[in-house]
A and B are shown apart, each in its own frame.
Chain A
Amino acid sequence: MNNEFGPRGRVASAADDADRAVLVLVAAGQLDALQELYDKYRVMAYSIALRITADASLAEDVVQDAFLGAWRNASRYVEGKGSVKTWLLSIVHHRAVDAVRRRRPTVELPEREDVPPAAMTLPDIWPEVAGNLDREEIAAALTSLSDVQREALELAYFGGLTQQEIAIQTGTPLGTVKSRVRLGLLAMRRALVGTDGNAAGDAAGGDRSGDPGGGALA
């Protein structure tokens, strides 16, 4: 299976098309289009931000920053790199993670402050593996994860924790956490699209190549 999901790789849903039309107007500086986008995704956006930050006021700031980021950078949305929904919610996710990391004293703060604030740049958006999966299919994919894989992915995605932090929090060796993260994502991919694609090479060689990779940077 070819894993290049170009803009025409899958039939975009009507909802995606409608979102793109709205985003065009957002890029053109139409405030009403921004409001339409906000009203459509505000609950998802706020719920994600609230879950990650566990702080209503910070979550509001995150959602505001994210929508203003979308407002200013709508022209940088590239068709074919995921739906508008994914693009938007990824911005929310990145900014929420950034916000909790900045608040956490244990993080390597000087390092992050030198870098142009991650929250100010749009995240890398990866194409979704498939355009029109329904909730049941996604839920089924998530059940393909083992409990420890799900925990590791959840701590990374909703907790905003790095692998090292997950290792410390769960009292698990770093190498084990790395395996859970990698194998967890591979399992989800397999369940969602029925193939590992090129990433399968990682799984096969994972036991051997994972440790040197981690060791070189530990």
Chain B
Amino acid sequence: MNDEPMTHETARGLAAAYVLGALEPAEEAAVREHLQTCAERHHEFAELGGVVPYLVELPGLELVEPPASLRDRIMAAAAADLAERTATASPVPAESTPRLAEAPAASAASPVAAPPPAAASPGPTLPFPSAAERSAPRRTSPLAWAARIAAVVAIVILGGWNLVLQGQLSDARAYDRAVAAVIDAAGKPGSQIVVLTPTKDSRGAGIAAVAPDGSVVMAMRDLPATAGSQVYEAWVIAAGSPAPVPVGSFTVGQAGTAAFTTTPVTTPPGSTIALSLEPGPGSTTPRGTIVATGVSALPKS
């Protein structure tokens, strides 16, 4: 690879591959550098790049609905992000966060077309002033999110969010997202909380929230990885009932973490939530080892 600056003509010739992201990393970097320094205009990049979004219409893209849990994960992560912005910017009470849309006076004075310098923004808000902001309809149900944000803020204060702050290791992030989903569920009125601890000679611990509909949102870690057809099966033993009810199974990779939402069953306070390692899916009674258990309880107010 030579280190000579790229010529204008060479960059032109690479435009199609560049806008497609099909260049080797070094070539891509060279083109990027050229575009930043080239005195001549490179119309071809915008012209060919404008075509790329339509490639999504190439035949054969099967439309697939994502799992419902993905929305919860994203919203919980965004709520956590908002809480973090608020926490690091200034000690703003949680109640004020849902009202960030009320643009600060400074941003209202900025010209509409100017992209706001994000780094210069003093607060958690990202100024995006426009007429649309003033005329857009208010979002509904801020209260629901306020409850969730408050739950996340509480976790931040308790220091439980340290994993997010400490690093971007994907395992830790996956677990954090799982925890965030639990927090999200736990923030709903009527939810119960379960702390799952490993049984004797087992590994695997976590927390879970029993949503009002009886589904259990759990975040587990330190679980041994499943192998072959093995699955972890979740069980609910409702208070006063002797029979464990299977509520769903999942596999675990080398990271040992799991984010899982069970099928809803009646789960009154005092119910036992258990995880067993089963030789395969579809168990109707636990056949394998019970690895972790916990008892559901309403949070103390």
Contacts and interface: CB of A to CB of B under 8 A. Distances in A.
Nearest to B63: A47
Contact of A48 (B25, B44, B61): B61
B89 to A, nearest CB: 11
B66 A43 contact: yes
B53 to A, nearest CB: 4
B128 A74 contact: yes
B292 to A, nearest CB: 22
A27 interface: yes
Bin chain A's interface residue count: 35 or more
Given A28-B103, A30-B100, A162-B24, A202 B66 contact: no
A28 B133 contact: yes
Nearest to A67: B74
B161 interface: no
Given A50-B64, A111-B25, A216 B70 contact: no
A97 B21 contact: yes
A150 to B, nearest CB: 7
Interface of B is mostly: helix
B57 A142 contact: yes
B23 A68 contact: no
A30 to B, nearest CB: 5
B50 A216 contact: no
B124 A29 contact: yes
A28 B126 contact: yes
Nearest to B133: A24
Given A47-B61, A60-B70, A71-B81, A188 B51 contact: yes
B116 A38 contact: no
Contact of A75 (B15, B54, B115): B115
Interface string B137-175: 001111001000100000000000000000000100010
A198 B44 contact: yes
Bin chain B's interface residue count: 35 or more
Nearest to B141: A32
A163 B46 contact: no
B13 to A, nearest CB: 3
A126 B56 contact: no
Interface in A97-142: 97, 107-108, 111-112, 115, 124, 126-129, 133, 135, 138-139, 141-142
B56 A27 contact: no
A111 B58 contact: no
Nearest to B251: A57
Contacts of A38: 71, 74-75
Contacts of A138: 54, 57
Contact of B21 (A73, A75, A94): A94
A52 B41 CA distance: 33
Given A24-B132, A29-B82, A126-B45, A209 B17 contact: no
B53 A86 contact: yes
A187 B132 CA distance: 37
Nearest to A56: B67
Interface in B211-231: none
The 4 A-B pairs of least Cβ separation, nearest first, read A126-B49, A213-B13, A29-B100, A32-B139
